[in-house]
Amino acid sequence: MADIVVYHNGECSKCRGALELLQEIGVPHEVRFYISEPLSVEEIRILLRQLDLPVAELIRKGEALYTERYTNAELSDEGWIQVLIEHPQLMQRPIVLKGDKAIIARPPEKVLEFVK
């Protein structure tokens, strides 16, 4: 397993940008296609610890699905984790993991400092 893991949505330009930067500087990495290979509840909990974020900050609130179904939702942390399980497209991206730390690489250039 590579030291760097990129949680990637192939339709996301920011994800593609982060991957391109890693490739340009020759950093070995794995890609986790979290849309087709959704994270488990435990993986999301671990990722939240690695990001040092509450689950609410992992939710993409600008997505149409969020505004249509969840804008006024009052869910517990576990409830939001279940939303991410059911709708992985609502997860912030790209997420880059290195060791036991992770970042949301927006803008993608944040990945360059993170992997040094």
Catalytic residues: 12
Question: Which residues make beta-bridge pairs with 91?
Answer: 59
Report the distance separating Cα 8 and Cα 4, nearest Å: 12
DSSP letters for 31-56: EEETTTSPPPHHHHHHHHHHHT--GG
